[in-house]
Structure 1
Amino acid sequence: MLAAMPPTSPTPVNRDEAPPRAAVRKSVRERGDACPGALRLHAADDGRLARLRLPAGLLTPRQAEALADAAERLGDGHLDLTSRGNVQLRGLGQSCGAELAERLYKAGLLPSETHERVRNIVASPLAGLDELPSADVQLWARELDGLLCASARAAALSGRFLFALDDGRGDVAALGADVTLLARRDGSVVVRTGANRSGLRVTPENAPRAALLAAETFLTLAEASGSGAWRVRELPAEHGRGLEAAVRAGLADAGIATEYVAEASEPEPGPGSEPGSGAGSGAGSEASKPDPEGEPPLPGPVLSPDGTVALSVHARLGRLSVAQWRLLATAANGPLRVTPWRGVIVPGVAPAAAGAVLDRLRTAGLITNPGSPWHGVGACTGRPGCAKALADVRSDAAAAVSRGSGGLPVYWSGCARRCGHPQGRWVDVVATGEGRYDISVQGDARSITTTTGPELELKPELELELADAVAAARTTPLTR
């Protein structure tokens, strides 16, 4: 049943503190990382789940067809896109693990059995496909993936550890990665760890190796701390403060020259200097602008430098049917790029055909323009697939989606864990049980919270109350 608001419309109020979140993270992990993978399947209420890591989201047409076949023959006929640009298969049978692994091996999607869960690499999806000058983050992703798979040490990373390779536009740099490579206009790359705004400048040639060494250094500090930390943000404070210095020392030992950058942002061009000249690049001598804050790719066509068109499309609630998936694969002239915003970039479409292809994708139920009411709306699996969920959030989100579009992203969660929620500011709709939802704006200095009343008999006017509350929260102004 759809959770309903009381007959009187609530007014959002500012609170001095964020609403209660899930259980506070313990300082010491008491169990191993159970993050699912392609070989370690997760038992869910709707069958087993496989999560396949796709460095930089890349999939050749042959690999995309292999996943479609696996979803169709072994799973529930759908593919879920994750907030890290990976793909999940659900509804898998109890005894299909060996067959699934064989299919993935043959498609070239499992280069290392021991590293398959740690290949979490996101990269700017439109790098090289639009008119913005960009670093070759796809090359970095391939090199970093090879280095990860060749490192016995890296196999100890958690399946939650994340690398972000940003071409300078600031899109994936905002995803809260553990190690970020951020390209700069002067041709250098800044290596950042965790939430640090500072970083270490290296050459592009050394960037992938520097990212791997930063991850291996994190492992050393995590072990020394005794905390069992899976992510950089989980390191105890004294170890977290020393991570950047330890990374710099490790890079020096590896023969990689670095330069400390107090804030990993673009230098303001000085008198007589041009971008790329290297003028004023000494530590402490830069006048810096804030970090770039690029937006995720909007749905729609993107003109590529080679004269073709790349199509950016999003999946409703992050889920694609096998038929939708195959439409995307057949439209592409080159590898698909799965994005961390539950979308897919379809490259190489002839300009004359782009409009017709977009129409076919829209008719098939995909999000092809930013005016769609589905744009920016996400949800976890919820009931009946997840045992921990307190509501069928996908059905409730679908029922509310027609009440408006635009504004902040909105994410529906079946419980307080908020699996897969976006970064930055978003409208947080969380099922709390007994037909109730908490609605808040996350990412503000304060949180703006509206809470539903008790579960009532479902009536059209009450259904609209919940939908209107979500729509209003999406246009909430920023509070300071």
Structure 2
Amino acid sequence: MLAAMPDSAPSPLSAGGVSPRDGGPAGASPRSGGDACPGTLRLHRADDGALARVRIPGGVLSVDQAEALLTAAARFGDGELHLTSRGNVQLRGLGTECGGELAGLLTDAGLLPSAAHERARNIVASPLAGLDGSPSIRSWLTELDRLVCDSAAAATLSGRFLFALDDGRGDVDALGADVTLIAEGPSGAALLRVGTADEVFRVPAAEAPRAALLAAEEFLRAARNSGAWRVKDLPDDVRAELVRTIGPASGPSVHRPRPRTATSPAPGPHGFAITADVPLGRLTPTQWQLLTDTARRYGGELRLTPWRGIVIPGPVPRPKAAQALRTLAESGLITAPDSLWTGVGACIGHPGCAKSLSDVRAEAGAAVGPPGRLPVYWSGCERRCGHPHGEWIDVVVTPDGHRISHVRGERRDPPTTVRNDPARLAAVVAEARA
């Protein structure tokens, strides 16, 4: 195992002095000094107040933890909860002095098991795993989170570094995580992917979480002299050497290209679960409470998806599932694939973000039309915070107008720019999505 590296320095909005279980954040290092990813101990200053990002490994929440998040949003923030593209939760409109109390509340709810690792617990998982005949990966999730929190080296992972646990269907494998574990079905083995390499390594399923952690620690060694936050940021030769180094220590290689399109669970019933998507990832207190109450009546659990949706595991009898979905739909959530909001996403935009050039959420709402084949994501600036993966329509606000382009993985078609014409903008976006 790698020797421990110091974690990043607290920002001016850090909780500071909060020591849930294993002590507060360590001092700064040259490598991590520029990692500005927010957490719960290190708040981010936004135009609408401070922002906290609560890591939810695998998106899995108990109903009691969901209630704790609602309490935190009401007590310290603007009351709303925002889902991220990694299945995490953001609280906005926070007071700058709430960090210590917020950390205490989340620690008591089991949402902050390690202060030193709170920004490193970035793990996405297939939301329907174990619910529709696919393999359960819960043991991987529990063990990997434990190993990450026990690793001194893992505390120095960037808040951008991502683990993915895929049940074999390819949904989160397509997200381009830094380290991915894939269930191999009847063989009982796991496949380990490093970055987006086409070659994966077969490891025994019971050893898969440790193999994933060791791959992350090996990345830290490789990244020492490069300043890379993620595997994709490594120079090509260093990345290739990283894969070669990890391979022999893992298992035999298998050629398995990564899926290019990430497919989310369709909103609606799914056998032993129901799924609802969240327009623009923004949940009112009433919607969050309704989802929590629904989960409490059935499996007692919510699963947040990387596509800003929520899965409620069952079993839910069919008539009750239909009623629950109707109630969720009446609250404004997306419960069927033919919703006008299906596939529509946007960053927080103006006025919440000072870098945004417009209120893209309002613009996205004004342009909503018939569902398109492709998802569309509206960004208020070139950073494109929270954009999807795979194939999608990219709408970016620039000083010259809205630039619309078709993205296919790493490829981008020539864009169309629309200036100050909302009707034409909606028509161009609709045509691109079709």
- Provide the TM-score with structure 1 as the length reference: 0.81
Residue 449 of structure 1 aligns with which residue?
A: 415
Listed one character per residue, the Cα deviations across residues 266-297 of structure 1 (whole Å, up to 9, x for unaligned) are xxxxxxxxxxxxxxxxxxxxxxxx85966210
The residue type paired with residue 442 of structure 1 is V
Residue 379 of structure 1 aligns with which residue?
A: 346
Radius of gyration: which is bigger? 1
Give the alignment of 1:163-312 within 5 angstroms: 163-185=163-185, 186-223=187-224, 226-249=225-248, 251=249, 258-261=251-254, 263-264=255-256, 295-304=263-272, 310-312=273-275
Q: Distance in 1 between matches of 2:39 and 2:190?
A: 31
Please tell me the root mean square deviation across aligned C-alpha atoms, in Å. 1.7
Report how far residue 397 of structure 1 moved. 0.4
Give the alignment of 1:51-130 within 5 angstroms: 51-130=53-132
The residue type paired with residue 67 of structure 1 is L
Q: Distance in 1 between matches of 2:396 and 2:263?
A: 25
Report how far residue 31 of structure 1 moved. 4.5
Secondary structure at the aligned position of 1:303 is classed as coil
Are 1:152 and 2:146 matched, yes or no? no
Give structure 1 regions of 4+ aligned residues with deviation exceeding 4 angstroms: 28-31, 290-294
Distance 1:50 1:291, change over 3 A: closer
Distance 1:56 1:412, change over 3 A: same
Residue 402 of structure 2 aligns with which residue?
A: 437
Report how far residue 104 of structure 1 moved. 0.2
- Conserved 8 A contact 2:64-2:109: yes
Secondary structure at the aligned position of 1:35 is classed as coil
- Conserved 8 A contact 2:173-2:259: no
Secondary structure at the aligned position of 1:297 is classed as coil
- Conserved 8 A contact 1:169-1:294: no
Report how far residue 61 of structure 1 moved. 0.4
Q: Distance in 2 between matches of 1:373 and 1:450?
A: 23
The residue type paired with residue 222 of structure 2 is L
Q: Distance in 2 between matches of 1:128 and 1:30?
A: 37
Report how far residue 408 of structure 1 moved. 0.5
- Conserved 8 A contact 2:261-2:389: no
Distance 1:87 1:30, change over 3 A: closer
1:319 to 254, 260, 282: 282
Residue 424 of structure 2 aligns with which residue?
A: 465
Residue 293 of structure 2 aligns with which residue?
A: 330
Q: Distance in 1 between matches of 2:422 and 2:239?
A: 46
- Conserved 8 A contact 1:41-1:97: yes
- Conserved 8 A contact 2:32-2:156: no
1:342 to 308, 312, 323: 308
- Conserved 8 A contact 2:49-2:95: yes
Q: Distance in 2 between matches of 1:62 and 1:138?
A: 19
- Provide the TM-score with structure 2 as the length reference: 0.89
Q: Distance in 1 between matches of 2:182 and 2:150?
A: 24
Give the alignment of 1:360-379 within 5 angstroms: 360-379=327-346
User: Paired residues, what number?
Assistant: 399
Secondary structure at the aligned position of 1:372 is classed as coil
- Conserved 8 A contact 2:171-2:262: yes
Q: Distance in 2 between matches of 1:49 and 1:374?
A: 25
The residue type paired with residue 228 of structure 1 is G
- Conserved 8 A contact 1:53-1:120: yes
Q: Distance in 1 between matches of 2:425 and 2:269?
A: 33
Kindly indicate whether structure 1 or structure 2 has the higher relative contact order, using CA contacts under 8 Å at least 6 residues apart.
1
Q: Distance in 2 between matches of 1:468 and 1:395?
A: 16
Q: Distance in 2 between matches of 1:245 and 1:341?
A: 32
- Conserved 8 A contact 1:391-1:433: no
Q: Distance in 1 between matches of 2:247 and 2:300?
A: 38
Mark the runs of 5 or more structure 2 residues left unpaired by the alignment: 1-29
Listed one character per residue, the Cα deviations across residues 195-219 of structure 1 (whole Å, up to 9, x for unaligned) are 1010111010010000000000000
- Conserved 8 A contact 2:260-2:390: no
- Conserved 8 A contact 2:265-2:275: yes
Distance 1:469 1:85, change over 3 A: same
- Conserved 8 A contact 1:164-1:177: yes
Secondary structure at the aligned position of 2:270 is classed as strand
The residue type paired with residue 408 of structure 1 is L
Q: Distance in 2 between matches of 1:30 and 1:160?
A: 11
The residue type paired with residue 174 of structure 1 is A
Q: Which stretch of structure 1 is more off in the superposition, 441-450 or 229-238?
A: 441-450
- Percent identity among equivalent residues? 56
- Conserved 8 A contact 1:63-1:108: yes
Distance 1:139 1:365, change over 3 A: same
Secondary structure at the aligned position of 1:383 is classed as coil
Q: Distance in 2 between matches of 1:446 and 1:327?
A: 40
